[in-house]
C-alpha cells in the first residue's frame, strides 16, 4: 500500500477547503439563479393567484426572479410530491395550504409525502374564512332558519363542492353533520359550475372560501348566512360567525404558506424567511389579500412548525369522524 506523502496530504486538504468554501459561497450567494415556485393546482384558482402574488414580491426582494410553475393533478398530490423529492437547495419551493398539507393527510391512507417531515415551512402568507351561502330564493335568513327547514325535510336538500375530497366537501360535511342535517352532496369539476347551479335554483347551499363567494354574496346572487372564522369578516360584518349562533362550534380558515424540501440549508431557509416576512409587511400585498376577504397570516419562524402540527392534529381526527371518504 502506498504511503501518503506530505504533498498528497496538502493536495487533499486544499481540495477539501475549496469544496467547503464553494459550498459556503453557494449558500452565501443564494439565490444565484431563478427560483421555481410550484403551485400544485391548475392555473386560475385561488391557490394559483396567491402563488403568483408571492412570486412577484419575491422577485422584487431577491436578486433572482421567482416564477410559478403549475403542477396540477391527483388532487394536488403530483405537485406536492414533486417538491418533497426535489433537491433541497432552495430553488424549488411549494405553495402549501390546508388542502395539501393537512386535508390530504386526513383523507388519504397512502400519502406519498409526510407534510410534517418532508417540508420546512418558510412563512405563512394568508388565511381566508369560509362563507356558508344559500341559493337566493331559499326561504331562510339565518342559520337557525336553515337548520329548521332542512331538519323538517331530511335528504331533500343539497350542498355543492368543487369535487370529492375538496375543502368545500370536507368542511360542509363536518358542519352539516354537527348541525344534525341529512343533505345530499353534489360534487362538480370545479366551484364555478356549483355556483351556476345555485343561481339557477338547482343547488341549495355551498360552503366555500370567501374569496370565491364574495362577489356572489355582494351582488345578492347568493344569500350569505354565516362565516367560519373566529371573528366576523370586514367584507361581511352583517354575517355572524358560526360560533356566534350558538348552534354548534366550528371555526376554521383556509390558509396558505410557502414550503421548502426538508434539509434545505439553514442559510437558505433564513434568507427565504426574511424575504417572506417582508412580503407580509408590503402594503400592496396586504391590500390584495384583504380585498379578497383574507388576512395576512404572520407566524414567527419559531412557531411555524408548531402551527402546521397543530392544524394536522386538529383536523385529522375531525375528518376521520366525518362521512368523507375518498380512498
Residue 325 pLDDT exceeds 90 = no
What pLDDT is attached to residue 15? 59
Among the four given CATH numbers 3.30.360.10, 3.40.50.720, 3.40.250.10, 3.40.190.150, the one describing domain 33-127+254-321: 3.40.190.150
* Angle of the 46-61 helix axis to the 283-291 helix axis, nearest 10: 170
What pLDDT is attached to residue 24? 44
C-alpha cell at 229: 372564522
3-class DSSP state for residue 110?
coil
Residue 17 pLDDT exceeds 60 = no
- Strand partners for 70: 39
Which of these, 36, 88, 103, lies nearest to 255 by C-alpha position?
A: 103
Q: Distance between CA 124 and CA 257 in Å, rounded?
A: 4
Give the angle subtended at the CA of 79 by the CAs of 76 and 82, to the nearest 5°: 140
Residue whose entry in the numeric block shows the C-alpha cell 391557490: 47
With beta carbons less than 8 A apart as the criterion, state whether 90 and 30 touch: yes
Calculate mean pLDDT across residues 53-63: 97
What pLDDT is attached to residue 14? 56
Residue 62 parent element (H or E): none
With beta carbons less than 8 A apart as the criterion, state whether 319 and 171 touch: no
C-alpha dist (Å) from residue 244 to 234, 240, 279: 16, 6, 33
Which of these, 246, 242, 212, 216, lies nearest to 229 by C-alpha position?
A: 242
With beta carbons less than 8 A apart as the criterion, state whether 202 and 156 touch: no
Residue 9 pLDDT exceeds 70 = no
With beta carbons less than 8 A apart as the criterion, state whether 93 and 260 touch: yes
- pTM value is 0.86
With beta carbons less than 8 A apart as the criterion, state whether 277 and 141 touch: no
pLDDT tens-digit profile of 170-215?
999 999 999 999 999 999 888 889 999 999 999 999 999 999 999 9
Calculate mean pLDDT across residues 10-22: 53
What pLDDT is attached to residue 22? 44
Q: How large a percentage of the chain has pLDDT more than 70?
A: 91
Residue 104 parent element (H or E): helix 104-107
With beta carbons less than 8 A apart as the criterion, state whether 206 and 161 touch: yes
Q: Where are the alpha helices (DSSP H) in 240-300?
A: 242-245, 266-279, 283-291
Calculate mean pLDDT across residues 267-280: 98
What pLDDT is attached to residue 1? 47
Superfamily of domain covering 129-245: Periplasmic binding protein-like II (3.40.190.10)
**Are 33-127+254-321 and 129-245 in the same CATH fold?**
yes
With beta carbons less than 8 A apart as the criterion, state whether 206 and 198 touch: yes
Q: Distance between CA 188 and CA 234 in Å, rounded?
A: 29
Residue 85 pLDDT exceeds 80 = yes
Q: Distance between CA 109 and CA 276 in Å, rounded?
A: 33
Q: Residue 89, class by beta-carbon neighbours within 10 Å (0-12 exposed, 13-18 middle, 19+ buried)?
A: middle
What pLDDT is attached to residue 12? 52
Residue 298 pLDDT exceeds 60 = yes
The domain ranges of the chain are 33-127+254-321, 129-245
Residue 314 pLDDT exceeds 80 = yes
Residue 290 pLDDT exceeds 50 = yes
Residue 8 pLDDT exceeds 70 = no
With beta carbons less than 8 A apart as the criterion, state whether 217 and 133 touch: yes
pLDDT tens-digit profile of 215-242?
999 999 999 999 999 999 999 999 999 9
pLDDT tens-digit profile of 238-269?
999 999 999 999 999 999 999 999 999 999 99
Residue 152: pLDDT band (50, 70, 90) is: very high
Residue 321: pLDDT band (50, 70, 90) is: confident
Which of these, 104, 43, 35, lies nearest to 76 by C-alpha position?
A: 104
Task: For 145-204, give the DSSP string.
Answer: HHHHHHHHSTTS-EEEESSTTSHHHHHHHHHHHHTT---EEEE-SSHHHHHHHHHTTS--
Amino acid at each position: 500500500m502506498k504511503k501518503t506523502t506530505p504533498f498528497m496530504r496538502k493536495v487533499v486538504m486544499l481540495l477539501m477547503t475549496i469544496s467547503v468554501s464553494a459550498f459556503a459561497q453557494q449558500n452565501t450567494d443564494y439565490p444565484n439563479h431563478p427560483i421555481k415556485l410550484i403551485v400544485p393546482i391548475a392555473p386560475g384558482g385561488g391557490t394559483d393567484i396567491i402563488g403568483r402574488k408571492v412570486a412577484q414580491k419575491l422577485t422584487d426582494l431577491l436578486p433572482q426572479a421567482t416564477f410559478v410553475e403549475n403542477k396540477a393533478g391527483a388532487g394536488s398530490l403530483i405537485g406536492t410530491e414533486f417538491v418533497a423529492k426535489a433537491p433541497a437547495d432552495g430553488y424549488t419551493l411549494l405553495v402549501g395550504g390546508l388542502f395539501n398539507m393537512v386535508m390530504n393527510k386526513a383523507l388519504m391512507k397512502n400519502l406519498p409525502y409526510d407534510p410534517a417531515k418532508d417540508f420546512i415551512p418558510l412563512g405563512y402568507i394568508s388565511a381566508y374564512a369560509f362563507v356558508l351561502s344559500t341559493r337566493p330564493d331559499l326561504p331562510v335568513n339565518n342559520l337557525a332558519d336553515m337548520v329548521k327547514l332542512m331538519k323538517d325535510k331530511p335528504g331533500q336538500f343539497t350542498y355543492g363542492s368543487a369535487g370529492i375530497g375538496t375543502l368545500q366537501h370536507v368542511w360542509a360535511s363536518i358542519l352539516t353533520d354537527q348541525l344534525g342535517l341529512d343533505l345530499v352532496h353534489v360534487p362538480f369539476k370545479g366551484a364555478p359550475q356549483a355556483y351556476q347551479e345555485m343561481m339557477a335554483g338547482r343547488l341549495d347551499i355551498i360552503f366555500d372560501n370567501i374569496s370565491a363567494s364574495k362577489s356572489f354574496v355582494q351582488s345578492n346572487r347568493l344569500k350569505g348566512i354565516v362565516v367560519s372564522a373566529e371573528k366576523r369578516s370586514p367584507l361581511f360584518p352583517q354575517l355572524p360567525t358560526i360560533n356566534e349562533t350558538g348552534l354548534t362550534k366550528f371555526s376554521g380558515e383556509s390558509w396558505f404558506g410557502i414550503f421548502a424540501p426538508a434539509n434545505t440549508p439553514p442559510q437558505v431557509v433564513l434568507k427565504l424567511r426574511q424575504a417572506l416576512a417582508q412580503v407580509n409587511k408590503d402594503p400592496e400585498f396586504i391590500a390584495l389579500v384583504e380585498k379578497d376577504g383574507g388576512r395576512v397570516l404572520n407566524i414567527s419562524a419559531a412557531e411555524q412548525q408548531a402551527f402546521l402540527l397543530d392544524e394536522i392534529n386538529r383536523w385529522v381526527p375531525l375528518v376521520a369522524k366525518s362521512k368523507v371518504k375518498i380512498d
